[in-house]
Amino acid sequence: MNILGISAHYHDSAAALVVDGLPVCAVQEERLSRHKNDAAFPAQAIEWCLDCAGIAPEALDAVVFYERSMLKFERILTTALRTFPRSWRSFPHAIRNTLGEKVWVRGIISSHLDVPRRKIFFTDHHAAHAAAAFFTAPTRRAAILTADGVGEWATLTAGRGERRDTDRPELTLLREVRFPHSLGLLYSTFTAYLGFTVNEDEYKVMGLAAYGRPTMIEQVGKVMRPTADGAFALDPQYFDVQTSARRSYSAKFVELFGPARNPYDPIDLESDEGRRFADCAASVQRVLEDTLVRIAAQLRRDADLPDLCLGGGVALNGVANARLLAECGFERVFVPPAPGDAGCALGAALYADRIYFGNRDRPIPDHPFWGPSIDGDALSRAATDDGLGVEIVDGGALVERVAGELAAGRIVGWMEGACEFGPRALGHRSILAAPHSSAIRDRLNRDIKRREEFRPFAPVVPIEAADRYFDLPRGGVRLARFMSGVFPVRPEWRSALAAVTHVDGSARVQVLEREMAPRLHALLDAYGRRSGIPVLLNTSFNVAGEPIVARALEGYSTFRRCGIDLLAAESVLVTKPAAAPVRAPKEEVAWSSGNVAASGAV
Amino acid sequence: MAKTVARIDRLMRPLHRWVWRDHDRRLRKLLAFADVETDGGRDIVRAAEVTPDPLLRRLYLEHAIDELHHGDLFRSRGAALIRERGTRTTSLFAGNPLPGGHGLDDLSIEGQPDYRLLAFLHVAEKSAAGRFEIYRQLVDDDPETRAIFETILRDEVFHMNYTYTQLTRVAPKTYRRHVWYARARRLWNRYLRVAVAIANLFGTAILTIIYFVVLPPFAWLARRAERRELPGWRPIARGGSPRSQY
């Protein structure tokens, strides 16, 4: 069966193709459209998936959308009614926004793909999250927990999944917490309050939290309280999300926590104001963790299963994930490489395959590399045209060469094979650097990533050496496979790993098995032989505000525009001259103001 | 440079003066420019990635770097003005952006021939240069902002000229037609923006009337139903039909 999964219209739209029960390809629309967090209908992603698999739209057996859009509309309308008349400003915006495109998704899919409507299916939003988490995890039986901002009505669900040898698998969501009570919403509201972008910068709140002390837990407890049955409830007085299209926190929220941060002001952690924001981040982070731990521990007791599959945007919170592993009694915690809405495209397709069509489960390759591959020739041609140094080097020699450059303090753009599905760069579209000094971290922040100083960089380490440098609990290796957990760097290595050790001594480490990315593994080995420490700084190959690069020429244009010293893509190595004059063309072009006048535009 | 100021911008000078005279309007305008220049820069980066022409790739990259730099200049100046403004931030971001910050519109890069993009960029840069020239004159009281406009204006001259020169190279026989086509398209886009804004206004008015006239009884019922709902866990009913959007 050929099943296309689609997620779209809110943030991070994506498409994924499942053929005979196995993913063939999956990609976020942003990687192709080059608009970060592109929420548009993923026409390019769909086209790429079908091209990649060599399947015509008419050969699709089913197209599955990741949520029930009319149910979502019902929630929006009901919320407006419940908050009448305070919702009078947000109502026209919400209705226009929803009725404009989002509820007509069946027609949109049908017209885009020219498939009959009987082939179009829908899943519940959180069922798609759960399927993305459970069906991609190498476990037979697991408890399932999904948490995000909001789907149709659910914001958090708990359930269980089981694989069987002779029958179709089972995935059952047993209970849910409903809007407006939402952990994702709580965290996003603090994200906005702290001057960051909602649905994009939540990880900055997590990074900032490490600089603060959780001194405002009592205040956060007023905003969100635990319920008697072990769930939680938000106090709507502190939120404007139901009544305003512009702001998610209310005046009462500001009364409680003080003035919000101006998004254009840098956070000065030496000032009282900066420390207040850090404390605020630390407090909401702690409350989120405590709530998740309480809910997951209850689920562990009820389900009596050794593994936990975690899905939804909240599962991107690596600090909380590590606490779930350490404190809830689960042996392993599985977080897919794309736990957010993009991953729902794959989840919806897998859910339809296993649950709707009753197909037998097939183990899914345990890697995140489902996106477009690179074309080394295109890169080589472009770099040669531009007069840059281009070398074609075979595998082993290239690895040795790059390891030498890294050891010499150079920053390397690293592209290999298919790009990752999900928000993390896990070794196929990465910027790599030596992890030892804070100077290289500062250089990366200043010349390449152009981001806030308080944000940490992540390390990548081969599985064989992980325990030596990082304090990984039982199950930590699994959680760190897709960079889903934050763990302590062993104290004796913190100064040698200064560029990847966060202020609290932790790191969001990726533990790499050779089978997942053999060349990067070899590079880590080679680097370890030179430096004595087989650890590299691994950050996503992009600059601020842009999606991670997918194709070779996108890597090349990023390389040209920022301070990356060397670009390695498959067997192609591109270097910049000592002072790379990107500005050279200005002198090559004959121009004069007479040309402008000739265009007659004035 | 004064010659490049379009008649429409000269006519709108009183409006521009009104915008730039006020501290809050000025900084909102600068921040809107920052976003527009950055978005435009990213579009041009994309153009550099998809063009098959090596010279254009380098020029587009050069252009994109300039635009992204302009975005940074506007952003840091806006941030400085916010700091000068102090803590009165309550209504600062409440209003719509002021007119005149549409940059490259919704530029579609993929699948477009280079001559179309070059013509579009040329016309857009020329228009922006004219407008920035007016702004430069209107911020005499603010040397830092004025210096930013002067820097940007120097870059804009290069952008106007290289786009035109390259247009004549890639489409030597038809370049005038492409410039006129680009100009007509900008005009059409302006019309669309105005039309959409008016339609939005009508839509909002009608929906607001519906809200107050039709919704009250349903709102009463919804609130009554809400009172019966307790927060906390709820059992999940077995899933709906696979083909249903409900």
Q: How many residues does chain B have?
A: 246
Question: In chain A, which among 212-251 make CB contacts under 8 A with chain B?
Answer: 227-233, 246
Helices (H), A171-249: 183-193, 202-209, 217-223
Name the CATH superfamily for B2-212: Ferritin, core subunit, four-helix bundle (1.20.1260.10)
Q: Are A220 and A232 in contact (CB under 8 A)?
A: no
Tens digits of per-residue pLDDT, A199-234?
889 999 999 999 999 999 999 999 999 999 999 999
Query: Which one of A77, A81, A381, A582 would you mutate to disrupt binding with B, by most B Cβ within 10 Å of its Cβ?
Result: A81
* Contacting residues of B for A38, CB less than 8 Å apart: none
Read off the pLDDT band of A593 (50, 70, 90).
Answer: very low
- A594 to chain B, any CB pair closer than 8 A? The answer is no
Distance from CA of A175 to the nearest CA of B (A): 4
Do B89 and A590 count as a contact with CB atoms less than 8 A apart? no
Delineate the domains of chain A, giving CATH numbers in brackets. 1-66+68-122+343-366 (3.30.420.40), 138-340 (3.30.420.40), 376-575 (3.90.870.20)
pLDDT at B96: 40
Q: Flag whether pLDDT at B90 surpasses 60.
A: no
Cβ atoms of A567 and A386 within 8 Å: the answer is no
Any chain B CB within 8 A of the CB of A599?
A: yes
Contact B42 A74 (CB under 8 A): no
Mean pLDDT calculated for residue range A416-429: 96
Mean pLDDT computed over every residue of chain A: 93
Identify all chain B residues contacting A118, using CB atoms and an 8 Å cutoff. 243
Which residues, other chains included, contact A475 with Cβ-Cβ below 8 Å and sequence gap of 6+? A325, A330, A331, A332, A333
Hey, where are the domains in chain B?
2-212
CB pairs under 8 A between A and B: 212
Rounded alpha-carbon distances, angstroms, from residue A81 to A6, A103, B224, B232: 30, 19, 11, 21
Alpha helix (H) residue ranges in A444-517: 466-469, 476-479
pLDDT of residue A10: 87
A601:B58 CB<8 A: no
Measured between beta carbons, the chain B residues lying within 8 angstroms of A560 are 61
Verify whether the Cβ–Cβ distance B49 to A557 is below 8 Å: yes
Are A278 and A212 in contact, with CB atoms under 8 Å apart? yes
Is ipTM strictly over 0.95?
Answer: no
**How far apart are the CA of A245 and the nearest CA of chain B, in angstroms?**
11
- Cross-chain Cβ contact B54/A233 below 8 Å: no
To the nearest whole Å, the CA of B189 is away from the closest chain A CA by 17
What's B107's DSSP letter? -
Q: Do residues A27 and A45 lie in contact, with contact meaning Cβ atoms separated by under 8 Å?
A: yes
B228 CB contacts (<8 Å, ≥6 apart)? Answer: none
Cβ-defined contact of B208 to A596 (cutoff 8 Å): no
Beta strand A510-512 with A458-462 is: parallel
Q: What are phi and psi of A108, to 5 degrees?
A: -65, -45
Whether the pLDDT of residue A242 is over 80: the answer is: no
Read off the pLDDT of residues A301-343 as tens digits, 9 standing for 90 and up: 999 999 999 999 999 999 999 999 999 999 999 999 999 999 9
Select the residue of A74, A545, A556 nearest B38 (Cβ to Cβ): A545
Identify all chain B residues contacting A173, using CB atoms and an 8 Å cutoff: 236
* Residue A217 CB neighbours (<10 A): 15
* DSSP assignments along A289-331, one per residue: HHHHHHHHHHHHHHH--SEEEEESGGGG-HHHHHHHHHHS--S
Q: Measured between CB atoms, which of A91, A232, A600 is closest to B207?
A: A91
Tell me the longest C-alpha to C-alpha distance in chain B. Answer: 74
Residue A582 scores a pLDDT above 90: no
Q: Position B150: which residue type?
A: E
Q: Kindly report, residue by residue over B183-229, the tens digit of the pLDDT.
A: 999 999 989 999 999 999 999 999 999 999 999 999 999 999 998 88
Closest-CA distance of chain B to residue A123, Å: 6
Span A435-483, pLDDT tens digits: 999 999 999 988 898 888 888 899 999 999 999 999 999 999 999 999 9
| Mutate which: A267, A356, A591, vs B, most B CBs within 10 A | A591
Nearest to A34 by CA among B56, B120, B49: B49
- The residues in A 334-353 lying below 8 A from B, measured between CB atoms, are 352
pTM attached to this predicted model: 0.92
CB burial of A476-497 (b: ≥16 within 10 Å; e: otherwise) equals: bbbbbbbbbbbbbbeeebbebb
Which residues make Cβ contacts (< 8 Å) with residue B207, sequence separation at least 6? A91, A92, A95, A96
Q: Which helix (H) or strand (E) holds A340?
A: none
Nearest to A278 by CA among A367, A369, A202, A205: A205
